[in-house]
Chains A and B, each alone.
Chain A
C-alpha cells in the first residue's frame, strides 16, 4: 500500500468539502475498508488521504422502522442486516442476501453503504498491470478475453458484473438512497443511482465525488407479499454470485398480482427484468408460467464467448424462486 494520511472529521459538511477538494480524486472515504483496502493494496486505488467515516458522529448507523417501511443507516454492518429480526420478517430477501454474502468476518466489518459502492471483481480490473477501460484505459480486455464471469446484459464498453448481493434485493424493494453533498441532500431511487458506466463517468453509480451516502430507505410492502434472494456460486460459501435473483411476489387466489424480479451477476449494475415482471402479473402461478417467464426474462441476454452457461443458471434460479414463493405449503 502507498502511504496516505488518515483523518477523522467531525461534521458532514467538512467531510464533503474534503472529499471534493482534490482534482485527481485522491481523497477517499473509508467505511469498513473491506473493498477499499484490497484495491489500495493492489494500487488500483491510490488515495493520498483517507477519511474515516466510522468516527463521523452524524453518519447514520442502524436499522429503524418508519411509518411505511424501514431505514438503514449507511454504517450498518452486513451482520446487523442478516440478523435483524424485524428486517427478516418484513424483507426476508434482504436478510437472505446478507446471509449468503462474503464470510462472517467480512459481514462483521462491511457496511451496507460500502457494499452498494464496492467496485467490480473483474479480474482485469483487479489486476494492477492491466489498465482496462473502467480504470481509464482504452479497451476492455474481458470483451474478447476471459469473460466467464462477465455480463449478459448492458455490456459495453465495460462487461463487468456488479458484485453486490444487497443491491439486487434493495432494487427489487424499490429502495431510495439519501445522499448528502456540499449543496445539501438529495433522494435518489436506487434504480437511478445505479447507472451503466459511460465515457465520462467510469463507475457504476451516480454518486458524486464529494457526496456521502447517508441512508437507504425501504418502502413498505402490502401484507401477504413474499420475497427471496437466491444465489448460484462456484462453491457453497465465500463466493460472489455467478448469478443471483431477487424476487418479490404477491399472490391472490393463485393469481399473481404483484411481481418484481432483479438479476445479479449478469450486468454492470443490478438488472431488473421489468418485462418479465409485467408478464407475471395476472398469470396463474404454476410451473408452465414460470418456465415461460424464465425464458422471457433472459430473452435479450447476449452472451460473450465464455459465459453462456449463465443464461441456463439464471433461468433455473428464476423458476426456482417463483416456485418457492408461490408454494402454498
Chain B
C-alpha cells in the first residue's frame, strides 16, 4: 500500500519550511534529504548511538526515532542553528579549544546534548556534563576532552570575559 503525503510545516532553527512528506519519513531523513541540513548525522538509525541528536522544544532527542509529521508544532534546533552569523556558539568554540573530537562524526550530537543541558542547567557540574552525553557514543574515545569542552562552555556562558581570558593563556 502507499500512504498519502502530508503537508508538513517544520520550524527548524527559527525558519519555517513547508514540505510534503510521507508519514514514514523520520525527522532525521527530512533534515538530511529534504532540507540538506546534513550536520545532523545518521549512524545507527535505531536510537543506539546519539549521532542524530537535535533539540526539540529545547530538549535533546534522537531525530532518527521521531516522525517528521509528528514535529509540526515544535521548535527544532540542529547544529546548523547554533552559530550566530560568524560567531560560533560557546559550545562549538569550546570543542575546538578542548580538542574534543577526532573523526568528528559524533560531534554534532555531543554538542546538541550539551546544548540541551546548558539550556536547563547553565552551571552544570562534571557529573551533570557527563550524564548529559551518556546517550552519545564516541568511537574515537574523545570523552575526556568532551568533558573539558563542556566545562569550558559552561564557564564561558557563566562568565564570558574571564573564561575567554583563561583560554588565551594556554
- A residues sitting closer than 8 Å to B (CB atoms) are 1-6, 30, 33-34, 37-38, 40-41, 48, 50, 52, 54, 79, 102-106, 108-109, 237-238
Contacts and interface: CB of A to CB of B under 8 A. Distances in A.
Contacts of A108: 56, 59-61, 116
Contacts, number: 79
Interface of B: 1-4, 6, 22-24, 26, 45-47, 50, 53, 56, 59-62, 65-67, 69-70, 113, 116, 131-132, 134-135
Contacts of B134: 103-104, 237-238
A6 B71 CA distance: 12
A238 B4 CA distance: 36
A40 B24 CA distance: 10
A104 B4 contact: no
A108 B59 CA distance: 7
Contact of A3 (B22, B50, B61, B62): B22
A50 B3 CA distance: 11
Contacts of A109: 61-62, 65-66
A103 to B, nearest CB: 3
A41 B62 CA distance: 15
A38 B65 contact: yes
Contacts of B50: 103, 105
Task: Select the residue from B3, B4, B53, B56 with max chain A CB neighbours within 10 A.
Answer: B3
Contacts of B60: 104-105, 108
B65 to A, nearest CB: 5
A225 B35 CA distance: 54
A54 B135 contact: no
A141 to B, nearest CB: 21
Given A5-B23, A238-B134, A106 B116 contact: no
B66 to A, nearest CB: 7
Contacts of A103: 50, 134-135
Given A105-B61, A105-B62, A34 B47 contact: yes
26 contacts: A3-B1, A3-B2, A4-B24, A5-B4, A6-B3, A6-B70, A30-B67, A37-B26, A38-B47, A38-B65, A40-B24, A41-B45, A50-B23, A52-B70, A54-B70, A79-B59, A103-B135, A104-B134, A104-B135, A105-B50, A105-B113, A106-B47, A106-B62, A106-B65, A237-B134, A238-B134
